[in-house]
Amino acid sequence: MLERLIAWVLNNYLGKYVENLNTDQLSVALLQGAVELENLPLKKNALRQVGIPVEIKSGYIGKVKLQVPVSQFRSAPWVICIEQLYVVAGPVSMAQWDEELEEKAAQEYKIMLLDALEARWRTETESACYYSSSYSSWLSYGTSFMTNIVENLQLNITDVHIRYEDELTVPGSMFAMGIAIDSLEAQSCDDQWVPGLSKSDLGHSFKLVQMNNLSIYWDSLDQGGNLWNNLSNAELAARIKQESKGHNYILSPVSAHAHLKKNLSEQPIRSKSQPRIFCDLHLDNVPLHVTDLQYSQIVGCLKGLKRLQKSQQYQKFRPACPVRGNARLWWQYAFHCCQYARNGDMVVAKNWQQCLKRGRDNVQYVELYCKILNGQPGYVNLSVDEKQVKEDMESDRGYEELKTLR
């Protein structure tokens, strides 16, 4: 049972971001009290759910280690260690456009937004339910056994370097932005902020978070300069260590620690004077420095990403032929873009029959969704046909229209 639980957690939370995750050997490793996964390559589309036109060019996780106190489940903490998180990202290449893949990613992103919207509503209106736990990671954990594990979970992350390289969004410029963290540690403690097991009988849980040497840099690169997006894992690690000090920092290395205090009440807390989570942040001096060139490139990059995101929306209408000799197709492309900009994903009814059908579909979808909301949280009480109708509606309609119907 334990290996199935850990395999489910790894596949659902880590499997979204890494390639070829194999959890078949967990049972052998758990007998020794530790699970180690090494050199996990990151998926190219791991950032699609963020909703920005950025993809991972290269990157990997050097080691993921889970320490499980097999003989001391209740008296010792579980520890998750992540070492060498190296990521090189860049803007999405329109030359490698895959309509089917992009539509699938857009659909997943839309469903994620709808689920988050529903979870937020349930959290605000219901005292304790399945969706409350999916929206807020610290609200409810079921049994005292699982509560004890989660409340005393320790997280250690070391050697993080996330780099964004861009030669597309600002014409005539190449630049790289990076975020580096030496270490990030979160562990349970008592009410005096001494590391150890958190005691839930006090009505609160306590976490101590420490971060060492967070830095942000923005480097201007020469045209034709060496980019990191095609390096192997070994070359990427060597380059990061080689150029660790030669950056133009916007935020020079800074450290901080925070004291987190969480109210364990199962009832919703709606008082503004009594927060669910209280954070006391202790931060070193924050040295910020931005040059005119950096500021200009930052603004240009943001505008370029916005243009690229809009181009993604219209890419499915774009003809795969030159303008010369194909004026009709390109005028149709312009018309479809204007129509999409006005109506979005909403399909405009062309006659009364279509209008009537859309109205009936809307009514049916609202009735099905009311049935879900009135049912047991976490359990979809729909028939096979009703589930198919719901899935078809959520596939055909845009987010704003579904949000209004819900």
Tokens representing residue 111 in the block: 């469903």
The rounded distance, in Å, linking the Cα atoms of 60 and 41 is 4
Q: Supply the DSSP symbol for 144.
A: H
With CA atoms as reference, report the closest residue to 29 among 67, 73, 81, 83.
Answer: 67
The rounded distance, in Å, linking the Cα atoms of 388 and 395 is 10
pLDDT at 129: 46
pTM for this model (two decimals): 0.76
- E-only strand ranges, 75-173: 79-91, 154-166
pLDDT at 87: 94
Using the structure block, give the residue that is written with the tokens 């909403």: 346
- E-only strand ranges, 264-391: 277-283
With CA atoms as reference, report the closest residue to 197 among 154, 144, 142.
Answer: 154
CA-to-CA dists, residue 196 to 77, 153, 263, angstroms: 8, 11, 18
Residues 108 and 48 sit within 8 Å (Cβ to Cβ) = yes
pLDDT at 339: 79
The rounded distance, in Å, linking the Cα atoms of 241 and 246 is 10
Residue by residue, pLDDT tens for the chain (406 residues) are 566 667 766 776 677 788 877 666 555 455 566 778 888 899 888 887 777 888 899 999 998 888 877 666 666 777 889 999 999 999 987 766 677 777 777 788 888 888 888 877 776 665 444 444 444 444 444 445 556 666 677 889 999 999 999 998 998 889 999 999 999 999 888 888 888 776 655 678 888 999 999 999 999 988 666 788 888 888 999 999 888 878 999 999 999 999 998 887 777 777 777 888 889 999 888 999 999 999 999 999 999 999 988 888 888 888 889 999 999 999 999 988 887 777 666 566 667 888 888 889 889 999 888 888 877 555 567 788 888 888 888 888 888 888 888 8
The rounded distance, in Å, linking the Cα atoms of 373 and 371 is 6
The rounded distance, in Å, linking the Cα atoms of 13 and 37 is 14
CA-to-CA dists, residue 234 to 231, 241, 254, angstroms: 8, 11, 28
277 phi and psi angles, rounded to 5 deg: -125, 130
With CA atoms as reference, report the closest residue to 49 among 132, 118, 111.
Answer: 111
The DSSP-derived string for 207-229 is EEEEEEEEEEEEEEE-TTPPPST
Tell me the angle at which helices 292-314 and 327-343 cross, rounded to the nearest 10 degrees: 100
Q: At a CB cut-off of 8 Å and minimum separation 6, what does 109 contact?
A: 48, 49, 51
The rounded distance, in Å, linking the Cα atoms of 404 and 80 is 41
